Amino acid sequence: MDNQVSVDLRIYGEDRGCYYSETHRCLVNLNHHESIDDVYKTIQHELIHFCLDDLGENLTMDEGQEEALIFNMQWASCSI
């Protein structure tokens, strides 16, 4: 696990963020966020996509399962 990931911020885009597995690049579109905390959450979300990809864990999940797993990971501390 020696891959590196980059995070790019854009002012305008169609969604909140996206991870590109081919280039190990996360793209965050700022126009879909309401606060800096919201931006941080999206960066964290996209970085988890990278981690799952780098570990090969996403090979056994479809996109919906991967999104549900990341959502549960990000909100785990609130569900106790």
60: in domain: yes
**The pLDDT value given to residue 52:** 92
41: in domain: yes
The CA–CA distances, whole Å, from 2 to 9, 33, 54, 55 equal: 23, 31, 9, 11
- Indicate whether this model's pTM tops 0.75: yes
Quick: pLDDT tens for 15-38. Answer: 999 999 999 999 999 999 999 999
1: in domain: no
Q: pLDDT band for 58, please (50, 70, 90 cuts).
A: confident
Domain count for the chain: 1
Q: Which tokens go with 69?
A: 């797993």
Single-letter residue type at 41? K
15: in domain: yes
53: in domain: yes
68: in domain: yes
Which residue range is the domain that position 64 belongs to?
6-78
43: in domain: yes
Distance CA 28, CA 12 (A): 9
Strands of the chain (E only): list them: 6-10, 17-20, 25-29
